[in-house]
Amino acid sequence: MKIPFYRIGAIASVFLTVACNSAQKKSSDAVIASEDKQSARTNFEVSAADLKENLEYLASDELQGRSTGTEGIEKAAAYIEEDFKDNGIASYFQNYRDRFEVQGKKAFNIVGVLEGNDPQLKDQYIIIGAHYDHIGIQEAVAGDSIANGANDNAAGTVAVMELAEELAKMDNNGRSIIFALFSGEELGLTGSAHLAEVLKQENLDLYAVVNLEMIGVPMKDKEYMAYLTGFENSNFAEKFNGYAGQEILGFLPQAKEYNLFKRSDNYPFFNQFGIPAQTISTFDFTNYEYYHHAEDEAGKMNFQHMGNLVEAILPAILKMANTPEKEIKMNE
């Protein structure tokens, strides 16, 4: 198995310090007990202002719609990389870029990692992901030809960035967490397919994938905050809601009707690993009319809703990262 780049320095330091540490650290004291970690923080405050600032840049005209292989998506990638660095998220590979080619274009996913701190769990991984590309320039609508991709999917991207920041601050995840921003989604899920293949070749012990897609506006007349694609395929929603202590995820019939489970970046990981790999979304086919449209702009996003959703997701992710057993499973 290939050793992730972020671990090389850590492995070297372990050999240097293990002798002195072993005398003063018993295994029971090496990490916070699993139960304590799960309850260490139950109240989360996510800044809607931070989400707004990040999204307004990623969906700005300067980035020209973030089409794969363009200068605009390069600027988006650099912005995400800087955010990861500022918040202590290490690069999973030698640097943050997982490079591939699609339709003759050079492309890259941005992949960071927060190493787990439980010796029994840290070699198991959760992926939190979203695609950061969009469709770029299109036919003009009222003189505007830039498809800024605010809801699709700058919204999911900034949520991943915020989750990474908050989880790094807490630093009590037993399992390791990969934060992956995918390119090439608009070109057939090519970025996520590439990363899934690479990680499969590494024999990564991947527990689950939480993908975020089009979460910029709230759902209409629903008792739950978001829906889960492939709802019936696993016990993901049941466990996730239980971990969060509220009804976050529900079943949307249209998601099954249009087979959305196979239409976002969760699906390549399910294909490669056969694990719960599912997408959280709030686009319910009635609440947003600007899909792949020049008017998919930052000003149409509901940042308070986005903050509330990220706040609700955080404790569930934290619980996922710390349960002694892998409780989220595919249904028979």
Where do the domains of the chain lie? Answer: 5-320
* Between 152 and 47, the higher pLDDT residue: 152
Angle at which helices 155-170 and 48-58 pack, to 10 degrees? 130
For 105-144, the pLDDT digits (tens) are 999 999 999 999 999 999 999 999 999 999 999 989 899 9
Residues 282-316: b if buried by 16+ CB within 10 A, e if exposed: bbbeebbebeebbebbbebbbbebbbebbbbbbbb
Q: Which helix (H) or strand (E) holds 189?
A: none
CB 280 within 8 A of CB 316: no
End-to-end CA distance of the chain: 30
Q: Which class in CATH covers the domain with range 5-320?
A: alpha beta
For 259-301, the pLDDT digits (tens) are 999 999 999 999 999 999 999 999 999 999 999 999 999 999 9
Helix-strand-coil split of the chain, %, nearest 5: 45, 20, 35
Percent of the chain with pLDDT over 70: 87
For the segment 187-209, the average pLDDT, to the nearest whole number, is 98
pTM: 0.89
Question: For strand 176-182 and strand 124-131, is the pairing parallel, antiparallel, or unpaired?
Answer: parallel
